[in-house]
Amino acid sequence: MGYPHKSHPKETVVLSQYFGDAEARTYDGWVKRGGYQALQKVLGMTPVEVTDVVKASGLRGRGGAGFPTGLKWSFMPKEKSKPHYLCCNADESEPGTFKDREIMRWTPHALIEGCAIAQLAIQAEVCFIYIRGEFTDPWAVMEKAVEEAYAKGTLGANAMGSGKRIDMHLHRGAGAYICGEETALMNSIEGKRGNPRIKPPFPAAQGLFALPTTINNVETLAAVPHIINRGADWYKALCLSNPKSVGTKLFSVCGHVQKPGNYEITLGYPLKDLIYDMCGGVLKGRTLKACIPGGSSVPFLNREESEGCLLDYEGCVAAGSMLGSAGCIVFDDSADMVYQTMRLAKFYAHESCAQCTQCREGTAWTVRILQKILDGDGTSKDLDLLLDLADQMTGKTICVLSDSCAAPVVSGIKKFRGEFEAYLKGARRAQVAVA
Torsion of Cα atoms, 417 then 419 then 421 then 425, to 10°: 170
C-alpha to C-alpha distance for 99 and 121, rounded to whole angstroms: 25
Nearer to another protein, 213 or 358 (CB): 358
Give the closest residue to 160 by CA, choosing from 128, 228, 112: 112
Residues between 223 and 252 with contacts to another protein, criterion CB under 8 A: none
C-alpha to C-alpha distance for 230 and 251, rounded to whole angstroms: 23
Kindly write out the interface string for residues 127-166 of this chain, putting x where it contacts another protein by CB under 8 A and - elsewhere: ----------------------------------------
Near another protein by CB under 8 A: residue from 317, 318, 364, 422: 364
Near another protein by CB under 8 A: residue from 188, 213, 216, 352: 352
Nearer to another protein, 153 or 395 (CB): 395
114 sits near another protein (criterion: CB under 8 A)? no
Region binding another protein by CB under 8 A among candidate stretches 275-283, 293-301, 318-326, 347-355: 347-355
Looking at 189-260, which runs of residues are DSSP E strands? Answer: 213-217, 248-255
Give the shortest CB-72-to-another protein separation in angstroms. 21
Burial level of 82, CB count in 10 A (0-12/13-18/19+)? exposed
C-alpha to C-alpha distance for 291 and 293, rounded to whole angstroms: 6
Kindly write out the interface string for residues 371-410 of this chain, putting x where it contacts another protein by CB under 8 A and - elsewhere: -x----x-------x------x--xxxx------------
48 sits near another protein (criterion: CB under 8 A)? no
Instruction: Provide φ and ψ at 66, rounded to 5°.
Output: 70, 30
Near another protein by CB under 8 A: residue from 17, 358, 404, 411: 358
Give the shortest CB-217-to-another protein separation in angstroms. 23
Give the shortest CB-384-to-another protein separation in angstroms. 10
Cα torsion 412, 418, 424, 428: sign: negative
Q: What's the Cα-to-Cα distance from 94 to each of 129, 234, 333, 393, rounded to whole Å?
A: 17, 30, 24, 19
Residues between 167 and 226 with contacts to another protein, criterion CB under 8 A: 176, 178, 193, 198
Give the shortest CB-198-to-another protein separation in angstroms. 4
Nearer to another protein, 1 or 393 (CB): 393
C-alpha to C-alpha distance for 36 and 41, rounded to whole angstroms: 9
Give the shortest CB-426-to-another protein separation in angstroms. 17
Q: Which amino acid is at 15?
A: L
Region binding another protein by CB under 8 A among candidate stretches 266-274, 362-370, 408-416, 418-426: 362-370
Give the shortest CB-152-to-another protein separation in angstroms. 41
In 190-323, alpha helices (H)? 218-230, 232-236, 271-273, 303-307, 313-319
Q: What's the Cα-to-Cα distance from 199 to each of 91, 124, 182, rounded to whole Å?
A: 21, 22, 11
Cα torsion 206, 210, 211, 216: sign: negative
Give the shortest CB-361-to-another protein separation in angstroms. 4
Residues lying near another protein in the complex (CB under 8 A): 176, 178, 193, 198, 349-358, 360-365, 368, 372, 377, 385, 392, 395-398
